[in-house]
Amino acid sequence: MKKLIAPWTADQVDNLNRFQTEARMHPFTCGQCCMELVARRIGWHCSDPDCDYTQQWAHPFMANPDAWPVLPQDPQKAG
């Protein structure tokens, strides 16, 4: 599968971080402490300030909200 390799544009970073919180899929997490990753221009970084884990790739669809998978609504969150 094709990968989107850092460095990323500012728009890609914004969309990757939105994907982490809005896409209703399991977010990318740290390979050392399991905290969520945060996208920066130079790649993913662990959200734990004491952890130095990084990852330099993402799936291309993650940076494009129009390509995000459409998942069924969570019935427990429906009002």
Domain residue limits, the chain: 4-64
What percentage of the chain has pLDDT greater than the value 70? 91
Q: Tell me, what's the pLDDT at 27?
A: 94
- d(CA 1, CA 52) in angstroms, rounded, equals 26
Name the token pair of 5.
């390799």
Q: Determine the longest span between alpha carbons in the chain, in angstroms.
A: 40
Average pLDDT, the chain: 91
Across 51-60, average pLDDT: 97
Specify the higher pLDDT residue, 75 or 10: 10
Q: Which H or E element spans position 18?
A: helix 10-22
DSSP 29: B
pLDDT at 77 over 70: no
| Each residue's pLDDT tens digit, 8-28 | 999 999 999 999 999 888 999
